[in-house]
Structure formats: C-alpha cells, structure tokens
Amino acid sequence: MRLNLTIISSLIVLPYTQILHANEAQDIVRAAIDYWRGTSSYLEMTMTIHRPNWERSMSIRTWTQGDNQSLVRVTAPKKDRGNSTLIDDNNMWNFSPKINRVIKIPSSMMRQSWMGSDFSNKDISRVDDIIDQYSHSILSKEKQDDYIIYHIECIPHEDAPVVWGKEILNIRNDNVVLEHRFYDQDNELIKRLQSLEIGEMGGRMIVTRQRMERVDRPSEWTEIRIDSMQYDLKLGGNLFTLSNLRNPRE
C-alpha cells in the first residue's frame, strides 16, 4: 500500500510542479514587459541601420500607455522626419508625410521590415502577444555576478497567429532582458536581439543599447540607443489617435 500511495502521490505532484513552473516562467516574462514599459512611458532614441556598404541613423520619439498603445515618430534626418507608427490594441497604422497618407498595416505585412530596419512590424507591435499567445517554461537558471539569469522558452499555442516556432528569452532577476532569440518552425535560430549596454535611466536600470541581427547576415544589424527615458507620465487622451498620427499635437 505504501508503494501504491507513493506512485499516486508522484502522479499528482509532477503535473502540479509543472504548472507552478509554467506560471513562474510566465510571471517572469510579464514582469519584464511591465518593467520596461511602466504604466506609461516617453523615450527618445537613436536607431542605426548598418549594412556592409552603408549606415544611416534616425532620431525617434516614442510614447507608450499600458500594454496596447504606442506612438512612434521619426524626428530626424529631414528626409525621414514625420514618418510615424501608431499601435492601438491589435491595430497598426503607418503615416508617411511624403504621400500624406495613413496606411493600416494588414496581418500579411507584419513580417515586413519596419522603417527599413532589422525590426519587423510585428517586433514593434503588441509586446504582450508573447504572454497571451505562448506557453512558457524555465529551461535553466544561472548565477551571473550578483544576478540570477532565467532562460525561458516560449512556445506558441497551436492556433496562435505568430510566425515563430519558438522564442527564448534570457531575463535577469531585476527584470532586464539580456537576449531574445527567434526560431523558425524547424527549430533553427533566425535572429536575435542582444542587450549591449545597461544603465540607469528614468529611475530604473534598463537596456540602453541593443542590437537586432539575423544570424545568417552578421554584417547587417540595427541598433537602438536610448538617449532619454521617462516613466509613469500623464499622457493626453488624444495622443494615440489617427488624427494625431497625421497632425502631431504632442
């Protein structure tokens, strides 16, 4: 009877432990996203697109509110000034001052490059998709200096409208994401987002420089450098609107 009880106990405890493990992994990912965005944020950054034969940089301003609203606006150089992107829930629009048109981005274009960079439209759209559309597990954890690093695997649900076979995040226990890797359906690594510099800004430790690159094109990459960051601001109610996308009033 003792043996049978042990077996039954193991059958009960094992799934329960797996559930706790999955919940912990999801909580770590959610905490990292919430930490980066805050309840609202405003940042100024420089995006540099590097290719073997050329390089160009853009100055960008970004506002976010909650999980589902973002406004991104290019301020320099002159030829790119005014190009903007608005994300509101599951909707995404781009505005081009050259043609004076607002274009809604369909799901079929989410994999396309954003502003000619190595970031896709999907990369800058709703960040909480990786919470809602994925299952999570902790692959391993390690101690590095005074931090614990969690290696978390994110597998999309079968019906999830995502392009990746899986994603792996390396997250410090202070909610800083050190690396984000993207794999295709054949489990091959396609691209990675690496954190190159971390520093204090906006009253918290954040990634201040990061690089996105495809693994098959190491000489091509896009870097984002955060120049200033503010958190938990009171943003105007008309900021995240199509009207403001076309005619800035911020």
Domain-wise residue ranges, the chain? 3-246
Average pLDDT over residues 242-250: 87
Q: Is the pLDDT higher at 21 or at 232?
A: 232
Phi-psi category of 115—alpha, beta or left, where left has phi over 0 and alpha has psi -120 to 50? left
210-234 per-position pLDDT tens digit = 999 999 999 999 999 999 999 999 9
* Total-model pTM: 0.86
Nearest to 222 by CA among 97, 123, 99: 123
Spatial separation of the C-alpha atoms in residues 175 and 38, rounded to whole Å: 12
Classify domain 3-246 by CATH number: 2.50.20.10
Element (H, E) at 85: strand 84-88
Structure confidence at residue 248 (pLDDT) = 86
Residue 56 has pLDDT above 60, yes or no: yes
Structure confidence at residue 17 (pLDDT) = 43
Structure confidence at residue 126 (pLDDT) = 63
Percent of the chain with pLDDT over 70: 90
Q: Which of 12-16, 54-58, 120-124, 236-240 has the highest mean pLDDT?
A: 54-58
- Written as six digits, the tokens of 56 are 């160009």
149-163 per-position pLDDT tens digit = 999 999 999 988 888
Structure confidence at residue 67 (pLDDT) = 81
Structure confidence at residue 66 (pLDDT) = 87
